[in-house]
Amino acid sequence: MEKKRIAYLDALKGLCILCVVEGHVLSTNGFKPYDSLSSMMLYSFGLPIFFVISGFLAYKPSMAVKDVWDNIYKKFMFLVIPAVIFRMALSMMHHKNVFSFIVDGMGGYWFTAVLFECFLIYYLVMLVIKNDKWRIGILIALSLAGLMVKSIDEDFGPAIIDLHRLSKLFQFFVVGLLARKYREQYESLMQNEIMKVVLLVTFFSVLFSMTYPMHPVLHRFLRDVVLRYFGTFALISFFTCHDDYFRRENKINALINYLGQKSLAIYLLHYFFLPKFLPRPEWFNGLNMVTVHLLALLYAVAITALCLVFIEFLSYSKYIRKYAFGQK
C-alpha cells in the first residue's frame, strides 16, 4: 500500500529545492553563501529542512532486523547510486577523471551522501539498541557530539565521507525523528502563538546581530546552529499552520507538491544547467542584493522547469528511472 503523503511536507520541499537551486546560481557566479543578510536567511533553512523531513519520515518505534537491512539497501540505491552516477557524468562533462569522487569527495552531491549516512547511523543504532528511549538518547548524544565538533571549522576524515557536514546536519535529522515520535506535541508547539513569536523574533534578532563583529567560534555557532534552528522551525511552523491550504486540490498546490516529490531528481540534475557569468558584466556589479536574488530566482525557476522536462524524458527508461533517479 502506498503511504499517504503529507501535503505540507511536500510543499516545504518544493519551496526549499527552489531556494537551493537559487543559492547555487549565486555561488556558481562568485557570491558567497553568507555575504549578505538575504543570503544568510535563505541558507539558514534550505538544507536543514530536508534533513528534518527525512528524519520525520524515517522514524519507527521498532523494526525487524530484516527490515532494517532492507531499508539500508533501499536508501543506498535511492541516494548513493544516483548521486555517484550524476557525479561521474558531471566530471565527464567537464573533462575530469570520472572516478575523482573517490579521493575528492562527492562535490555538489555531498548532500545525498551525507543524508544516506544519517539514515545509516539511525538504522545501525536501531539494530544495536532495541529500547526506543535508549535509542533516542544515543542519537541525541551523537547530535551533541556533532555540535561540539562544530567548533572545528575544518574538514576532517576522508572527503567521500564528509564528516564535517555530517556533524553539522545529523542533529537536524535527529530533530525530525523526535518530531515524529512526539508528533502531537510537536505540531501543537508549531501552532502555538507564543512559539510563533519566539521563532520569528529570535530568528531576525540573531540574523541582524550577525552584522556585528564577534569571535569566529561564536559567529559559526550562531550562523550554523541558532539561526538554522530558528529559521528552519519558523518556516516549518508557517507550513504546519497552513496544512489545510496545502491539502486543497488546485493547480498551485499540485505544482508545489509535485516539485516537492521531484526534489531529489531536481537536485541531481540542476548542476548541469547552472549559468556562469564570470567575469561578471559591469552592469551586473552595480545591482543590489535584492535585485540579484530576484534574477537568481528567475534562473532557478527556469532551471527547475528544465529539470522537470528532462526528468520526464529520462524516466521513459525504467532503468534510468530506477538507477539514476532512485524511483520505482
pLDDT digits (tens, 9 = 90+) for 47-70: 899 999 999 999 988 888 899 999
Of 15, 3, 27, the residue nearest 271 (C-alpha)? 27
* Average pLDDT estimate for 69-85: 91
Question: In the prediction, which pLDDT does 1 show?
Answer: 35
Inside any domain, residue 129: yes
Print the domain residue range for 314: 1-31+242-328
Q: Which residue has the cell 516537492?
A: 260
Instruction: Classify residue 36: in a domain, yes or no.
Output: no
How many domains are there within the chain?
A: 2
Q: pTM of the predicted model, to two decimals?
A: 0.90
Region 22-32: what's the mean pLDDT?
85
Q: Are 91 and 217 in a shared domain?
A: yes
Lowest mean pLDDT among 23-27, 252-256, 307-311: 252-256
Whether residues 98 and 167 share a domain: the answer is yes
Return the pLDDT at 39: 80
In a domain, 97, yes or no: yes
Domain presence at residue 37: no
Q: Is residue 64 part of a domain?
A: yes
* Same structural domain, 67 and 214: yes
Last residue of a domain, which of 230, 260, 276?
A: 230
Residues 176 and 325 in one domain: no
Q: Does residue 53 share a domain with residue 10?
A: no
pLDDT: which is higher, 116 or 246: 116
Show which of 230, 259, 275 is a domain's final residue.
Answer: 230
Q: Are residues 112 and 153 in the same domain?
A: yes
Both 24 and 154 in one domain: the answer is no
204 and 72, same structural domain?
A: yes
In a domain, 40, yes or no: no
For the chain, the straight-line distance linking the first and the last C-alpha, in angstroms and rounded, comes to 14
Confidence of residue 156 (pLDDT cuts 50, 70, 90): low
Q: Specify the amino acid at residue 133.
A: K
The Cα 58–Cα 63 span in angstroms is 11
Helices 110-128, 132-149: inter-axial angle, 10-degree rounding: 140
Domain assignment of residue 9, yes or no: yes
Among the candidates 230, 257, 277, a domain finishes at 230
